[in-house]
Amino acid sequence: MAYASSLTSAGFPGITGSYGSPQPAGVVGGLNTYWGGGLVLWVGNRSGLEAGDGSSPKRHMSSLFGTGGALAALQGSLNYGHVIFVMPGHAESITAADAAVLTGAATSFAIVGLGTGAGRPTFTWTASGSTWLFDTARTVIDNCVLQLEPTTGTVTVAAPITVSAAGCAIRNCKINTGTDANNKVTIGVTTTAAADGFVFEGNTVKGAALATMTTFLRIVGGTDIVIRNNRITCGTTSAAVGPIQNLTTAAVDAWIDNNVIHNNAASSTACITWALASSTGTISNNFCRNMTDASNAQIVVTSGDMQLFENRGVNNSNENGISLGTNSA
């Protein structure tokens, strides 16, 4: 299996935030210097390029998933810090449940998309039961377009992404949740109580107002969950449930910070619903908009031992948001 690459061009987004290096060559050098030869693989399926073993951009694998894909090539290896670079223009469909099953038990790897805007690699969920399970520790995806529904036909994708292992992250991605009332998701991202340290950071989430869902990001338990610096615009089916929700099991020491959240469903009243009695953590510096709650009382709903700092809410255009929550004595 191939390891290092000689690519030296700089300026790709997403890499610095995840690996502290400004370009792929720096990541390769870091892997070989500090971690004893973690795999660096390349994936791309643009026409005119020769498919190969993933050893370089010119010898890329043609898929992330499947028996000949990059995830299968990790061969269940643990804690090597592998990096899979997905090239600009790559497009791949997720057509079945547990599409990444051939990852096996591999841990501590990242999938990093190269390119900017619409040129980033795109993964599209095409069937109601299609899923990508983040079920091994420290799985990271960075700087990709995640099209959670197929945009045509009549398809509601029930649970496109479930995170059930510790240390996973979704960063710097564009995530589309619904085109219209016929093409949408039920819940975009779901975590389980085993998803300690999950990070959802720097993402842009967009869904049409008619493409309502139960919630976009459902947190079920877990410790040290981080949700920060995201822009989330989508609608929920129940007016009083926000696009971010803690349900069933309390989350401990959660940090929800510096997000812009717009529940764009016509009857919406909530943006963050974090109301379990045993939940703990901080909700700070979030800017939230609903559509109908003139009191703004339901924009951020909390219970337990959650601390609120400088969250602001608005329910009409061209208004300055008011401070949310009860002021401390």
Rounded to whole angstroms, how far apart are CA atoms 249 and 197? 15
What is the number of other CB atoms lying within 10 angstroms of the CB of residue 3? Answer: 14
Would strands 312-314 and 322-323 be described as parallel, antiparallel, or unpaired? antiparallel
Q: Give the torsion sign (CA, 116, 21, 169, 55).
A: positive
pLDDT 10s digits, 289-326? 887 666 555 677 776 688 888 888 887 776 766 666 66
The candidate with the shortest Cα–Cα distance to 256, out of 290, 292, 219, is 219
pLDDT tens digit string along 37-68? Answer: 577 889 998 766 667 888 888 888 999 999 99
CB distance 144 to 175 below 8 Å: no
Whether 177 shows a pLDDT value over 50: the answer reads: yes
All structural domains of the chain: 1-90+98-124 (no CATH), 148-329 (2.160.20)
**Is residue 241 pLDDT above 70, yes or no?**
yes
Q: Are 244 and 217 in contact (CB under 8 A)?
A: yes
Give per-residue burial for 271-300: e unless 16+ CB within 10 Å, then b.
Answer: bbbbbbeebebebbebbbbbbebeebebbb
The pTM assigned to this predicted structure is: 0.89
> What digits encode the pLDDT tens for the residues 86-114?
999 999 999 999 999 999 999 988 999 98
Q: How many residues does the chain have?
A: 329
Nearest to 172 by CA among 21, 64, 18: 18
Q: What is the pLDDT of residue 298?
A: 65
| Average pLDDT value for residue range 122-144 | 96
Res 309: pLDDT: 87
